[in-house]
Amino acid sequence: MTDLIKMTATEAVALLKAGEVSPHELIDASEKRISETDGAVNALPTLCFERARQHADALAKDVISDRPNHHLHGLPIAIKDLTPVKGVRFTQGSTIYTDQIATHSDLMVERLEECGGIVVAKANTPEFGAGAQTFNEVFGTTTNPWNTSKTPGGSSGGSAASLAAGQVWLAQGSDYGGSLRIPASFSGVVGLRPSPKRVAHGPSGLPFGLNSVEGPMARNVPDVALMLDMMVGEHIADPCSLPAPQQSYVDCLKSVPKFGKVAYSPNLGVCPIDPEVAAICANAAKDFTNYCAGVEEDCFDLSDGEEMFQVLRAAQFSAAHAPKLESDRDKLKPEFIWNVEKGMALTAGEIGKALRDQAVLYQGVVEFFGDYDLLLCPTVMVPPFDHNLRYIEEVNGQKFDNYLTWLSMTFLLTNTACPTISVPCGFTKDGLPVGLQIMAPNGREDIVLQAAYAYERDHDFATQVPIMPRVPS
């Protein structure tokens, strides 16, 4: 069981494909590991092992000889509790839906299951994904396996913690302001925010929204590529969704090029950064000179980025959730209410300006990638912090007046619609993980994965998970 848990997803799938291990054996290993570790981390509070075993039995009768390289062959996975899985409890982290059972699966889940992924659990998330600290009134707080007094971040905190603790081999997350990248950084795993519509999902209440995306999380870059291959592809239920690329993401890692010029920004020009995080990421950027023609300190203009993000996020939040304030206001956390009300108070002029500013930003990004192949920067401005804090209110003497500003290293890049990955790049003196963000032009997930893999191969961070949760004395 221990040997199975320590395997990468790629290794486990190879054994499944060869018939050397069965889906039931991996399901048993996952169940055992969750029972050993989840009391400390509370990553996967909703389990569905009976459903998983039924799926494994059905999979045994499936003929997959025509798609052997595009199949997970029965690998257990976790799905974030913002996403429905038919027949499984679906709370979205809110007491409004404490006892809700999903009547359908998201089409992304259907695609993963069609590709041989077996859902064994739902991962914890903050209420409706609001905030990058994973706690809610239904299931409580998720903690960081590296130190259970700390947060794994959010909103895909349950997914990240489950990977770091070895409970599953792959986990799905979602990302608007950094919900894949922040928990990946805090938990010492890898999280990829794809380009909008790269991963189709739904049916959605806002199918034409482009800012929130679904993506893969894993313990290393090849496993992220493997999961992304199983997630991509257009679907009629998700308008504007993108077709799968001609070359698989796994195959693109077989030949990693030497990159041209690469830019590094220590703070995206506007963010305060914890000194220890800054030093670790600067060292990682220096190491990156081994894989490119040179690293220069540079960035496109993000001086209007926070206002742009705050307006567009609030507008989307109010569009998605305003009715909840009328029906269930007393059950909602204050940060959520603030964000919805901010959106409801916006004028058409404010939204219009934000959209125009985003267009100017994107043209600047296009010009930037005419000079550089990649942008590197820290993933989060701080290392993992006490899980009793709702959010970070101050960094380097700079105070924040809302629950989102401390996420600006990630959400400023959300505005660009470009794929961005967080890959482990070091540890603080207290042994807490730090992540490096790598961004490439829109639609080029292959470049992001190749760059992350080039760095990962020469460093030993990916092999340090999974770990047993470390409970401070």
Catalytic center residues = 80, 155, 179
Token output for 52: 């998983």
The burial class, CB within 10 Å (0-12 / 13-18 / 19+), for 56 is buried
Of 108, 27, 24, 116, nearest to 63 (Cα)?
A: 116
Half-sphere exposure of 341 (CA within 13 A, CB side): 10
Q: Which residues face 175 on adjacent strands?
A: 213
Angle between helices 23-41 and 157-164 (to 10 degrees): 110
Sheet with 292-297, edge to edge strand ranges = 46-47, 117-123, 75-80, 170-175, 213-218, 190-193, 420-427, 433-439, 374-378, 259-264, 292-297
Give the position of tokens 């994904």.
129
Burial of 193 (0-12, 13-18, 19+ CB in 10 A): buried
Contacts of 125 (CB under 8 A, 6+ apart): 80, 81, 82, 92, 93, 134, 136, 154, 155, 156, 157, 158
| Strands, E assignment, 133-283 | 135-136, 140-141, 170-175, 190-193, 213-218, 259-264
The gap from C-alpha 447 to its chain's centroid, in whole angstroms, comes to 18
Backbone φ and ψ for 45, nearest 5 degrees, come out as: -75, -20
CA nearest neighbour of 81 among 145, 140, 1: 140
* H-state helical runs in 232-333: 249-252, 275-287, 305-328
Q: Which of these, 391, 314, 324, 329, lies nearest to 157 by C-alpha position?
A: 391
397 burial (CB, 10 Å; 0-12 / 13-18 / 19+) is: exposed
- Rounded to whole angstroms, the Cα distance separating 312 from 134 reads 23
